[in-house]
A and B are shown apart, each in its own frame.
Chain A
Amino acid sequence: MSATFVLDASFAALTLALAAYTILARDTFAAVVAFISYGLLLALVWVRLSAVDVALTEAAIGSGVTGALLIGAAARVGDGDASAPPGLKPLEKLVCALLCAAVSAGIAVAVLSLPAQAPTLAPLALEQLPATGLGNAVTGVLLAYRAIDTLLEAVVLVLALIGIWSFARDDHWGGRPEAPSMPEPNGALILLAQLLAPLGIIVGAHLVWAGATEPGGAFQGATILAAVWILVMVAGMIDAPPTGRRWLRFALVGGPALFLVIGVAGFVVAGAFLAYPEGYAKPLILIIEVALTLSIAIALGLLALGAPARREKP
């Protein structure tokens, strides 16, 4: 047993333990906090699996922004102990546990019986990579080979946001979401927001730019920008934006719209939807990534803020 195996095994055991605590904890708030730690440890497991791009995404979105969203929700709805409907009987719980264990066992058998010679698309992805001018194969898959997935993903964010906004009361439509700010932000929080905001913007921009050749990319960079935005709002330095503003709506759909325009232009200049003309792949991909980053950052921030809950003018 080598040292790296012990390391991997302890990461896996810790992550599993946190997953179990997330499920079994009595307190809702404790479960959410455990879920966030679980996400961060999971990101470490991703690093150990040589998937640094995924690790960044998991840490930023899977754990970070999702965590902020869940903590906000947990604080608002609470445990609801008094109004809880009767839970399952112990015997019913046992049956559920056994059936879920059977699902896990089935997947485990599948994992253990994977073919010794693993199928891979890595050589194919690398072979075509020079044509795109990119150095990061994952970015290549996301924005060149399977660009349509990324386009649809950017659209899903906007659709989810429309869904969330539609839960607002009629007279709040177009208004501001509930501000996530602390009632009385203290000096340390404000200082932190002031220090981290410029730093976060630089890190976010760097992740987008570096994504072409190294781990990083539009989604990871956008999440950092969204996190900075939320932090500044939590510190009470700015208010949540009114969702009816035209600039906001344009910024939201700008990225996906530009992506779509370049995709359709591919029919004319390169013969296929989302095909890039030879020699222009990298500049086009960078233009799409920058536009997407702004749209995604705003979409992620607004998704975390939730439905409009007050009129624009208080």
Chain B
Amino acid sequence: MNSVTLAGLAGAAMVGLGLFGLITHPHLLRKIVSFNVMGGGVFLLFGAIARRGDAAGIGADPVPQALVITGIVVAFSATALAVALLLRLDREIGRPFFPAKELAGPSEKDGAT
């Protein structure tokens, strides 16, 4: 086992940890954070693969590296959008959780809206 494989295995473990948090936490901000841990694991897998592709005097394959840089920025955009959704939901229903069943049918209560 070398350092690169170890990083890949750590990435694999992070994906599982993040997935577990995403499924089990009812708090939506915890879901967002867990999703980011999962993303970190996926990026780290790319890192291990990039490091394995070192050649021609550079330490790691630049193509997966560029993909991960793009990925981190897009992950931030998605996180910011998710947080904005969460804050709006919190303002509407007063708590950071998915609306329970009693809130499922606002159209019945409000009539036209």
A121 touches B17 (CB 8 A): no
Could you tell me if B44 and A66 are in contact, using CB atoms closer than 8 angstroms?
A: no
Q: How far is the CB of B113 from chain A (nearest CB, A)?
A: 14
Inter-chain contacts of B55 with A (CB < 8 A): 120, 122-123
- Chain B residue nearest to A296 (CB atoms) is B73
Interface residue from B20, B47, B81, B98 paired with A54 (Cβ < 8 Å): B47
CB contacts (< 8 Å) of A107 on chain B: these are 11-12, 15-16, 45
Contact with B along A131-171 (1 / 0, CB 8 A): 00000011011100010011001001101100110010000
Contact A51 B47 (CB under 8 A): yes
Per-residue CB contact flags for chain A residues 43-61 toward chain B (1 = under 8 Å, else 0) read 0011011110110011001
The total of Cβ contacts below 8 Å across the A-B interface reads 281
Chain A residues near B6: list those with CB within 8 A: 5, 8-9, 12
In the assembled complex, how far is the CB of residue B77 from the closest CB belonging to chain A, in whole angstroms?
Answer: 4
In chain B, positions 50-80 with a C-beta closer than 8 Å to chain A are 50-63, 65-70, 72-80
Q: How far is the CA of A28 from the CA of B17 in the complex (A)?
A: 16
A80 touches B27 (CB 8 A): yes
A84 within 8 A of B: yes
Q: At the interface with chain B, which of A14-22, A185-193, A197-205, A239-247?
A: A14-22
Pick the contact of B13 from A16, A45, A97 — CB < 8 Å?
A16
CB distance from B110 to the nearest CB of A (A): 17
Taking CB atoms and an 8 Å cut-off, the chain B residues in 35-57 that contact chain A are 36-37, 40-41, 43-45, 47-57
Nearest chain-B residue to A86 (Cβ)? B26
Taking residues whose C-beta sits less than 8 angstroms from the other chain, chain B's interface range is: 35 or more
Q: Are B13 and A85 in contact (CB under 8 A)?
A: no
**Does B12 lie within 8 Å of A111, measured CB to CB?**
yes
CB distance from B101 to the nearest CB of A (A): 10
B10, B53, B88: the one contacting A120 at CB < 8 Å is: B53
0 or 1 for each of B78-94: is its CB under 8 Å from A? (1 = yes)? 11110111111010001
Query: Are B7 and A8 closer than 8 Å at their CB atoms?
Result: yes
A123 x B56 contact (CB < 8 A): yes
Q: Are B27 and A167 in contact (CB under 8 A)?
A: no
Query: Would you call B19 and A100 a contact (CB within 8 A)?
Result: yes
Binds B, one of A257-265, A271-279, A299-307: A299-307
Known contacts A45-B44, A66-B36, A107-B15; decide if A141 and B59 are in contact (CB<8 Å). Answer: no
Chain A residues in 8 Å Cβ range of B75: 62, 66
The stretch from A30-38, A228-236, A248-256, A282-290 touching chain B is: A30-38
A88–B22 alpha-carbon span in the complex (Å): 13
Say whether A57 contacts B60, CB under 8 Å.
no
| Beta-carbon nearest neighbor of A32 in chain B | B33
Q: Given contacts A49-B48, A62-B75, A125-B63, are A303 and B95 in contact (CB under 8 A)?
A: no
Other than the known A38-B40, A69-B83, A160-B80, what 14 A-B pairs have Cβ atoms closer than 8 Å? Answer: A9-B3, A48-B3, A49-B51, A49-B59, A58-B72, A69-B79, A70-B29, A77-B87, A83-B94, A87-B24, A110-B12, A111-B12, A111-B45, A140-B62
What are 19 A-B pairs with beta-carbon distances under 8 A? A5-B2, A19-B18, A28-B30, A50-B59, A54-B72, A62-B36, A69-B76, A69-B80, A70-B33, A73-B83, A74-B29, A77-B96, A87-B24, A96-B20, A122-B62, A140-B62, A217-B69, A300-B76, A306-B87
Please provide the 7 A-B residue pairs with the shortest distance between their CB atoms, ordered closest to farther: A50-B59, A104-B16, A120-B53, A160-B77, A111-B8, A118-B52, A8-B3
